[in-house]
A and B are shown apart, each in its own frame.
Chain A
């Protein structure tokens, strides 16, 4: 019997490959028509600016392993648990049998329309950090009227650390993403004024703090500590913002040619649906609850069902891949003890 993995983003791909390498059969289910998940929307990775495509290609290549079967455009419609095995019906009619289930259903980015005061979907020159990546891929950045933007603002914590929209958690990666994107914008627009509005800059990873410093010293990015309060649009389609510079203690009012919202992470639809379907415990922030935050990060509230990556909490890629490998080990241990038990009974 095999191991069933739901979600072929970076975590799913990496776990599949590691399990396959250890001799297990893996069924990898993906609802989209390609693997890679949210990584497909990214241009360069922080902090080293490595190409996202490259990493994606590597992860995809690993899936050619003979022990892995990938089911694209597939979603589980029915999951039944009998004794020590899972039986899953897919929407394409296939039926899979597995000894263990790994959920790598990941995150979705916050729907910025819910933060109406920032005008996303209402004002023409407001976009999300995800949409910006697409512009960066094409090395082009224009306003809606085709103008070269002169002042660009990046707004942190959109949908994160915000009790008003019920997201209390920090999405971790948006700070460094904003630094990276600000640098990338600078390379496209050497003369533009680039501002970043933040609550705290959380530079937790190796090389992050260094990039943050470089952004200020070398790339002339201005960091302003203060949350955006509201935005409006003027006749020339500029975004007029109101904020407070909390270090100076003064209100600020200015116009931006482009406003980028650094959207946070929320548990994806798949994560939510599966949690309900499988009756899994959720953490207060809506992500999957893990048995122990230090020692058992891959165990859910149900034995035999494991989780890895951003379905359990916001993570950067490094942590996601590490978590996936850790899940592979946890599953392997589970299988070995299961098989030993069955052996004893016989």
Chain B
């Protein structure tokens, strides 16, 4: 029996952690709704579980999404995730090869160099020693990057890194101690008894020259074990709870559990999956333009998890989705935020009783400009021109006015009021008898797609124009205008419409590529989701965004949302701001 009292801190810490996690996750999983439990049961023994396993490897270990933000940052996270994993797995295999009993205690593999008399060889022992040293070196290199990041985050591609609680700084220190202590313990032991490979053996030799390593090696193993034990004990109360939780979360997600607009058990899993890596910080325009530093998801989720005051951060968010698009854990940040907004409406069905039913003329296509569309008659005119040119059988369904789609209310937390409007509007649209609904407003578009039960497909006008182009119903000229495209939050990140506007704009103008293309477009600052900013702050946001776009010196800044257009036009701009429909209509002969 291999045993030494120094393994106790590690063993105790690990067991307490495992019992805690088991209890916690069981309690959470039990509180899932019946429907959610049914979904889990249905999918648990399918390929989805395999897919989830793959995702766990890619995200929890390799951290491949972080490489998009910065290769250094990705490597740093991979060193900890994959490195530590390999250290455990290879160590375990090594211990199994040496000591063929499957049931050797976990500490045996972790402290193998202590228990294994180095003179004794076993199959591939040198290879194992080499691999273990290599992995340790990888982790130590990652650790060095982590130190650099704390001191100078820009070096790793982050303008700002997370401000942590004192408690999290404590456990961070403990984590940072673990691997150097392992390195020292293995090196000292190697110096005394031999063993190890290029790293620990060399270091052991080196230390033996000037350190009393004989008397240091045993305390070093104690220190290493204690650091591990302490880390495990502190883990459930720290941000490192994300390590086990993210894995469970990935499985749940793959099995089909979704984060809706209310706070559920799954939200708990999401909340604890946040590693506070801080990648969301640089993405947030409220931080970059307005120096608001308490509302980024990392801080919002922290406040939510530790139940500290978070009413302002709850409301002070554009819900532009820039953070969500970059979140390496894939947390549904917008919906989590929405789940905290208070539903304060006292609106009932009777509130909108005065709205007369509309009996629109029947046509194949129903065009819905939306409230914001009505504030930008230029866009409406462009769309009517396009419909006429394409000889489309259409009816302007809200020409004389319509009902709000409900999404602005929903974004402010008034979900009940939103549903009243939605039901009313849903009926009106379904009565139109049209076979296609086209809208100019991405805000309407998103809720039509996600929340309505329409008896016809819905298209944003960018998609409809692309269809007309592809079918040859309109043939606009290709103008010499140099354009750049501002993809509205609700259309791009919100509804995943990227290709259609790109194709349309390239067909009618010379579209310049920018770093803000696709998922990285900025928020115009006009977002209906923020109920906290002052008008002056909003102006600051929009003029900063505009400035960023105009560094590309386009002839026109093109967008595909009436609200974005209005927001960018509220200050006098040197470059015209147009909707994509207007650019297309201008180029129709």
Contacts and interface: CB of A to CB of B under 8 A. Distances in A.
Contact of A122 (B381, B535, B566, B572): B381
Nearest to B542: A166
A168 to B, nearest CB: 8
B376 A117 contact: yes
Contacts of B380: 232
Nearest to A163: B535
A119 B377 contact: yes
Contact of B374 (A123, A163, A166, A232): A232
A232 B373 CA distance: 11
B572 A114 contact: yes
B571 interface: yes
Contact of A117 (B375, B536, B539, B571): B375
Interface residues of B, number: 18
A233 B381 CA distance: 10
Contacts of A122: 377-378, 381
Interface in B249-291: none
B539 A166 contact: yes
A29 interface: no
Contact of B571 (A119, A163, A166, A233): A166
A165 interface: yes
Contacts of B376: 116-117
B401 A114 contact: no
Nearest to B376: A116
A61 interface: no
Given A111-B572, A122-B381, A242-B401, A116 B539 contact: no
A116 B378 CA distance: 8
A253 B380 CA distance: 19
Given A116-B566, A242-B401, A230 B374 contact: yes
Interface in A113-137: 114, 116-117, 119, 122-123
Contacts of B401: 242, 253
Nearest to B526: A164
Q: How large is the interface on A (under 10, 10 to 19, 20 to 34, 35 or more residues)?
A: 10 to 19
Contacts of B565: 116
Contacts of A232: 374, 377, 380, 399
B572 A116 contact: no
Contacts of A114: 569-570, 572
Contacts of A305: none
B310 to A, nearest CB: 27
Interface in B468-509: none
B375 A116 contact: yes
B378 A164 contact: no
Contacts of A123: 377
A231 interface: yes
Contacts of A163: 535
Contacts of A164: 535, 566, 570
Interface in A221-276: 230-233, 242, 253
* Residue of A111, A163, A231 contacting most chain B CB atoms (<10 Å): A163
Contacts of A166: 535-536, 539, 570-571
A117 B535 contact: no
Contacts of A230: 374-375
B78 to A, nearest CB: 47
A51 B427 CA distance: 59
Contacts of B399: 232
A116 B369 CA distance: 15
A312 B550 CA distance: 30
A168 B534 CA distance: 12
A241 to B, nearest CB: 12
Interface in A153-205: 163-166, 168
B563 to A, nearest CB: 11
Given A164-B570, A165-B570, A242-B401, A116 B535 contact: no
Contacts of B381: 122
Nearest to A111: B572
A116 B570 contact: no
A117 B377 contact: yes
9 contacts: A114-B570, A114-B572, A116-B376, A116-B378, A163-B535, A165-B570, A166-B539, A166-B571, A233-B377
Given A114-B569, A116-B566, A166-B539, 13 more contacts: A116-B376, A116-B378, A116-B565, A117-B375, A119-B377, A122-B381, A164-B566, A164-B570, A230-B375, A232-B399, A233-B377, A242-B401, A253-B401
Interface of A: 111, 114, 116-117, 119, 122-123, 163-166, 168, 230-233, 242, 253
Closest 3 CB pairs of A and B: A117-B375, A163-B535, A165-B570
